[in-house]
Amino acid sequence: MKEKKLKTANEIELVDSSSAESADKIQSPRDANFESQPFDNTLESNQAGDETSLAQESPKEMASFIKANRTAPQEDNLVGKIIGGHYEILAFIGQGGMSRVYKAKHLLLKRYVAIKLLAFDRQFDSRSLARFQKEAEAAIELQHLNICSTREFGVNEEGSPFLVMDYLEGTSLADILSNETHLPQQRALDIMEGICAGLEHAHAAGVIHRDIKPANIILAKDKSGSEAVKIVDFGIAKLIREDESGPDLTQTGEVFGTPKYMSPEQCLGKKVDQRADIYALGCIFYEMLSGFPPFCNDSSIQILFAHVNDEPASLKPSCGKQVQAVLDRCLKKDASQRYLNVS
């Protein structure tokens, strides 16, 4: 059997959600203590000149608007400022490969929200804006108990596109695993149930997350005090189209995701579907049970090679035959051999 070969480092552009130097860190509200709060979906009329709706503009028109209105890079001096006419920036939360996330307050509704602002150090070309707009349109449609909701999107006064999301109080699964090493099997299964429910809803809407990992799973408290699983950051989500027309938002050779949780087809820069999320789900389940992901290495490229060519170590007998069978199927190299869906 011919061995699968991964492109060399010179042949692919790895867009890790955090940076090329880190194999596991990512933009995520990991340090924030959030709780989902009710949010009025009826947004006020925009004050004249305060903000421009991305939904009414083409990517090229948006790029022209941003170029005309863009100010100098602002580092983190947005704290204390008003964007979008009615969002006061309260604190910086974190940064990813394409955006920065801030805690903010809706001055009219008196609600705390998270603002995801397109990073100033990126070029605002029509392709990146088309990806951002597709993300917003897809994310706003996802309303589910196990998904952190996106509420609004637009362009701020300085010409940067932004998303408005629910502000959650909780702890990321990544932080929990860093403190507890691994989880009891029943708790891991309970968390998996919540993630699967959220992903089932997203996949049914034609949305793939493509960056499922512990840092993007927040364990919050609901009103009853019970633990609620929330999937955050559909930041590089891809809307599945029935036709292949329209802008190519994921160019061949450009790899998106976090290496430790990327499917083999993702590592190879191939087109992905919901089974890529299922592979990542298997990686998370494996890590919750064992305390480490299926493949570990200081080099992101070596981790990508491992996902394509190597088999993870079995967790039997500690996890039991049935659980091991689930892990094995989720982590199949060939996507056609994985579960078709998470239901």
- List active site positions: 211
What whole-number distance in Å separates Cα of residue 286 and Cα of residue 267? 19
CB 199 within 8 A of CB 212: yes
82 CB-near residues (< 8 Å, 6+ apart) = 88, 89, 107
C-alpha torsion 295→300→306→311, nearest 10: 10
Residues 55-93 as b/e (b if ≥16 CB within 10 A, e otherwise) read eebebeebbebbeeeeeeeeeeebeeebbbbbbbbbebb
> Alpha-carbon torsion 259, 262, 263, 269, what sign?
negative
What whole-number distance in Å separates Cα of residue 15 and Cα of residue 24? 12
**Considering only CA atoms, which of 200, 171, 243, 253 is closest in space to residue 7?**
253
What whole-number distance in Å separates Cα of residue 107 and Cα of residue 47? 14
Q: Containing H/E element for 219?
A: strand 217-221
Distance of CA 128 to the CA centre of its chain: 16
Residues 306-339 as b/e (b if ≥16 CB within 10 A, e otherwise) read bbbeeebeebeeebeeebbebbbebbbbebeebb
What whole-number distance in Å separates Cα of residue 303 and Cα of residue 308? 9
Cis peptide before 294 (omega within 30 of 0): no
Distance of CA 260 to the CA centre of its chain: 14
DSSP 52: B
Of the CA atoms within 13 Å of residue 132, those in its CB half-sphere come to 33
